[in-house]
């Protein structure tokens, strides 16, 4: 699918994987809306790539609509990448046997609200805008790419909420792709493994932590680079025969229980 002069929305686009994706899309000719809560980083990146910044909390439908409308004002919305998300780790049952020490239910709900419900809300709003596009020669009106995680398949101890949210994204990829086929919109999901982003911090302690993490990666035995993930996202956008698929980008890792 050709995206030159089309617009794109990237949630969680101010840093990490989202920022790498935003840069790739801009290099390919799209006018990118960096949708994020981080105003400073978001505006800096938008200026760098000739795009726009929208302050977006993906639990707010109003924010999502505003970002989509901003994109539409720059060109037909052909691309939506759902990269916004948070993590949380806590064992399901506490050590002291008290009900109060069981996992924080509000934290579980928050992770689901942002990672899963937020992704679906972006899809339904972004997909609606795409449905208004004139179809391209191929019949396509747009492409949606969701960012899940290998935790959808190999969730570790304490990752119940995160794995549930990412597993939900994987699980809804096919039915939504089937649904949106009627309007010429493809839907794919990319499931990253261990990607070297600012989430791991910086400095000697961070390097030691990452060195230990990468031992489970088959080859190459290192953390992935955001650009490596972003290139697969771009392929999901460009390749018109790629639809309803979840692609692991993880160096072959299968996460251990802990």
In the chain, the DSSP E strands lie at: 7-11, 31-36, 52-55, 77-82, 142-147, 185-192, 246-249
Catalytic residue status for 162: yes
CA distance 232 to 228: 7
DSSP SS3 for 249: strand
Burial of 81 (0-12, 13-18, 19+ CB in 10 A): buried
| Token pair 């759902």 in the structure block, residue | 82
Which one is catalytic: 99, 162, 200, 241?
Answer: 162
Q: Which residues pair with 249 in a beta bridge?
A: 192
**Residues recognised as catalytic:** 162
């Amino acid at each position: 699918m050709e995206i030159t002069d089309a617009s794109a929305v990237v949630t969680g686009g101010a840093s990490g994987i989202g920022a790498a994706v935003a840069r790739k899309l801009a290099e390919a000719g799209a006018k990118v809306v960096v949708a994020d809560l981080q105003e400073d980083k978001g505006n800096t990146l938008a200026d760098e790539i000739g795009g726009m910044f929208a302050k977006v909390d993906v639990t707010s439908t109003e924010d999502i609509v505003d970002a989509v409308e901003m994109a539409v004002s720059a060109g037909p919305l052909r691309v939506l990448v759902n990269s916004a998300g948070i993590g949380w780790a806590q064992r399901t049952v506490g050590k002291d046997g008290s009900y109060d020490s069981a996992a924080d239910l509000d934290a579980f709900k928050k992770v689901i609200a942002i990672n899963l419900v937020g992704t679906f809300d972006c899809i339904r709003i972004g997909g609606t805008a795409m449905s208004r596009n004139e179809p391209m020669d191929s019949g396509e009106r747009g492409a949606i790419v969701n960012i899940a995680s290998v935790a959808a398949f190999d969730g570790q101890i304490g990752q119940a909420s995160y794995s549930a949210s990412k597993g939900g994204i994987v699980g809804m990829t096919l039915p939504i792709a089937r649904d949106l086929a009627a309007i010429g919109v493809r839907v794919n999901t990319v499931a990253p493994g261990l990607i070297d982003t600012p989430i791991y911090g910086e400095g000697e302690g961070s390097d030691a932590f990452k060195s230990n993490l990468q031992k489970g990666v088959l080859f190459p035995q290192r953390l992935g680079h955001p650009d490596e993930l972003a290139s697969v996202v771009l392929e999901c956008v460009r390749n018109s025969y790629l639809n309803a698929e979840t692609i692991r980008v993880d160096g072959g890792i299968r996460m251990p229980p802990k």
